Amino acid sequence: MSDIIAARDEAEVADAVRTALSAGKTLEIRGHGSKRAVGRPSQTDLTLDLSALTGVTLYEPEELVLSARAATPRADIEDMLAASGQMLAFEPMDPAPLLGSAAGAGTTSGTLGGLFAVNLSGPRRISHGAVRDHALGIKAVSGRGEPFKSGGRVVKNVTGYDLPRLMAGAFGTLCVATEITLKVLPRPPMEETLVAKVASPEAAAAALSAAMGSSCEVSGAAFLPEGVAGRLPGLSGSPAVVALRLEGVAPSVSARRTMLRAVLAPFGAADVLETDASRALWLGVRDVAPFCGLGERAVWRISTEPMAGPALAARLAADLGGEAFCDWAGGLIWLCLPGESAHGDAVRAALAPHGGHATLIRATAAERARTPVFQPLDTALAALTKRVKESFDPGLVLNPGRMHAGM
């Protein structure tokens, strides 16, 4: 257990980083530690606890903008937005149920800084973009212990490099965010989901593609094979299906329901899940409900070209004896293996012909130490990534080794 430094504001964060730097110590950056079980298990000398950096500093609903200190609980932000009929449109996953207590993760749904640092977007990623697409501005402390800012509070901004976007998904390896400004969006007044049976993964890919390639503005598109589907709310006992979500104002949703039925007609009849059932289903997809509560059985999150996803998911599940389903119109595969062994080489070899990346999200510490958690980089990209890391954190103080060994 490393020593903990608690910082209450930007100046204290900067002091802590500078102190660590000059003493040659490394820091783990922690919000609530809800995702500590993700990533390579890193050994740091000290933990920088940001949990006191809370509070929404700006929220202007009619300007679609919100700023908050980095450790503001995600739940507080979501409640505040909901009260104004708004939302974080990227529908961030809550990893706590998947990681569970077995993985040593906490029970909270985490902080804004953590959510931002892992860039983990949910089903609406396909229509509304990722966490990074909503990152407008950041205040942060670099690995040099220097506070800096980048971006701003307006959506259209090309003044300087887009560092807020780079920070999203950097897992706290480049800087410590102290305040983050996000674009927020109106919450659609209603939603429903069409569910249609599919005969094969190939048919699923074709149905998902037809729906996404229509003007129905689908905002959630999943392939749920038999077995997996049955463990999601509203689909118990279901055979393999595709699920397609429509959101918006009532007249629009109803018009698009008719259009989408026509698009799906060649694949078969579709059932409708009304608002509450639809919401429950997508929450289950977002938080990977079918694979929760299975101890430390290895879980992969794989991003690939959407058309290849369903067949690849089925093949990986069959070859490795696990289970899989697809979100993102086929482009995001969640794969749960039968045991703790991650089979990293097999997973990545199967993915290689289609392109994309595989991240080991749940695994024992031993398995995460053995298998590269993040997609290995080719030589030129690895060298560039290392130089970028060092340009923010030359002493490799911040979360060293969290993403890639040696950086």
Partner 1 sequence: MTGTAPGLRMPDADARVLARRSDIIADLKAIVPGEGVIAHEREMRPYESDALTAYKQLPLVVVLPSTTAQVAAVLKYCHDNEIRVVPRGAGTSLSGGALPLEDAVLLGLGKFNKILEIDTPNRCAVVQPGVTNLGISKAVDHLGFYYAPDPSSQIACTIGGNVAENSGGVHCLKYGLTTNNVLGAELVLITGEIVRLGGKHLDAGGLDLLSVVIGSEGLLGVVTEVTVRLLKKPDTARAVLVGFPTSEDAGECVARIIAAGIIPAGIEMMDKDAIAAAEAFVNVGYPLDVEALLIVELDGPEAECAHLLEEVTRIAQACNSVTLRVSTSEAERLGFWAGRKAAFPAVGRLSPDYLCMDGTIPRRQLPFVLARMRELGAKYGLRCANVFHAGDGNLHPLILYDANAPGELHAAESFGADILRLCVEVGGVLTGEHGVGVEKRDLMDTMFNEVDLAQQQRMKCAFDDKSLLNPGKVFPTLHRCAEFGRMHVSGGALPFPDLPRF
Choose between 235 and 253: whose C-beta lies nearer to partner 1: 253
**323: amino acid identity, one letter:** E
Q: Tell me: does residue 33 bind ligand FAD (CB under 6 A).
A: yes
| Region for residue 160 given its phi and psi (left: phi exceeds 0; alpha: psi -120 to 50; beta: otherwise) | left
Q: Tell me: does residue 132 bind partner 1 (CB under 8 A).
A: yes
Of residues 133 through 152, those in contact with partner 1 by CB under 8 A are 133, 142, 144-150, 152
Contacts of 193 (CB under 8 A, 6+ apart): 220, 243, 244, 245, 246, 272, 273, 277, 278, 281, 282
The C-alpha angle with vertex 374 and arms to 373 and 379, in degrees rounded to 5, equals 125
CA distance 251 to 267: 25
Contact indicator for 281, 88 with CB cutoff of 8 Å: no
3-state helix, strand, coil in the chain (%, to 5): 35, 25, 40
39, 114, 122, 169: which one contacts partner 1 (CB under 8 A)?
Answer: 169
The contact pattern for ligand FAD, residues 287-326, with x = CB under 6 A and - = no contact, is --------------x-------------------------
Contact indicator for 273, 234 with CB cutoff of 8 Å: yes
The contact pattern for partner 1, residues 271-310, with x = CB under 8 A and - = no contact, is --------------------------------xxxxx---
Q: Tell me: does residue 43 bind partner 1 (CB under 8 A).
A: no
Q: Tell me: does residue 118 bind ligand FAD (CB under 6 A).
A: yes
Choose between 176 and 270: whose C-beta lies nearer to ligand FAD: 176
Strands 270-273 and 357-362: unpaired
Instruction: Return the range that interacts with ligand FAD (CB under 6 A); candidates 55-63, 108-116, 264-272, 385-393.
Output: 108-116
> Which partner, ligand FAD, partner 1, none, binds residue 93 by CB below 5 to 8 Å per kind?
ligand FAD
Which residues are at the interface with ligand FAD (CB under 6 A)? Answer: 29-39, 50, 70, 93-95, 105, 110-111, 113-115, 117-118, 120, 171-172, 176-177, 301, 359, 361, 399, 402
